[in-house]
């Protein structure tokens, strides 16, 4: 899985990254996110953005199936070009693409819960009935 998140989202995604790692996911991260994770004891492999002119870059890794999930929160105009290519590659290669910290947290919790085998899929209406 790939993590590429804005500076303000890094602290919020630290526990998410740890939980994905506990679940056996191999983490890859872009330079700033990689540095932050390493400083907080979370192992990750470095992935290059397209504008960094290093190979293999993120899109190469998506094409080669080295990335199966992407968490990418908006960083601003500086990386807008990379974000565009990343989104297009995710769509083309059918890679789940998460853009908010809330969705990242929900994703890791959902994956963890699905691995327990205790719960099936339920409609929102059935949840509502149980609380009223």
In order, the DSSP letters of 47-81 are: -B-GGGT-SSBHHHHHHTT--S-EEE----GGGHH
Total domain count, the chain:
1
Token readout for 66 is 């080295």
pLDDT given at position 97: 95
The C-alpha atoms of residue 106 and residue 77 are separated, in whole angstroms, by: 27
pLDDT digits (tens, 9 = 90+) for 31-81: 999 999 999 999 999 999 988 889 999 999 999 999 999 999 987 665 666
For the entire predicted model, the pTM comes to: 0.83
Taking 70 as the threshold, does the pLDDT of residue 125 lie above it?
A: yes
Strands (E) in the chain, as ranges, are 2-4, 28-29, 45-46, 70-72, 97-98
In Å, the largest CA–CA distance within the chain is: 56
pLDDT in tens, 71-112: 999 876 656 666 788 899 999 999 999 999 999 999 999 899
Q: Can you give the pLDDT at residue 77? A: 61
- Please tell me the predicted confidence (pLDDT) of residue 122: 75
The residue among 12, 13, 120 whose CA lies nearest residue 70 is: 13
Both tokens of 47, joined, read: 């992935």
Q: Could you tell me which residue, 7 or 81, shows the higher pLDDT?
A: 7
What residues contact 48, with CB distance under 8 A and at least 6 apart?
A: 30, 31, 54, 55, 56, 57, 58
> What's the CATH number where 73 sits?
3.40.50.1380
- Band (132; pLDDT cuts 50, 70, 90): low
3-class SS at 26? coil
Residues 6+ apart with CB under 8 A from 70: 1, 2, 4, 62, 86, 90, 95, 96, 97, 98
pLDDT score of 33: 96
Domain range for 80 is 2-131
* Residue 119, pLDDT above cutoff 90: no
Question: And the tokens for 19?
Answer: 């939980």
């Amino acid at each position: 899985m790939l993590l590429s998140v804005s500076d303000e989202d890094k602290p919020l995604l630290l526990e998410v990254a740890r939980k994905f790692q506990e679940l056996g996911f191999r983490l890859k991260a872009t330079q700033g996110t990689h540095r932050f994770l390493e400083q907080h004891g979370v192992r990750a492999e470095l992935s290059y953005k397209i504008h960094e002119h290093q190979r293999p870059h993120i899109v190469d890794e998506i094409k080669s199936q080295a990335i199966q999930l992407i968490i990418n929160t908006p960083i601003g105009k500086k990386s807008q070009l990379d974000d565009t290519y990343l989104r297009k590659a995710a769509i083309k290669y059918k890679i789940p693409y998460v853009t908010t910290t809330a969705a990242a947290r929900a994703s890791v919790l959902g994956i963890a819960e699905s691995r327990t085998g205790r719960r099936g899929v339920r409609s929102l209406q059935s949840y509502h009935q149980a609380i009223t």
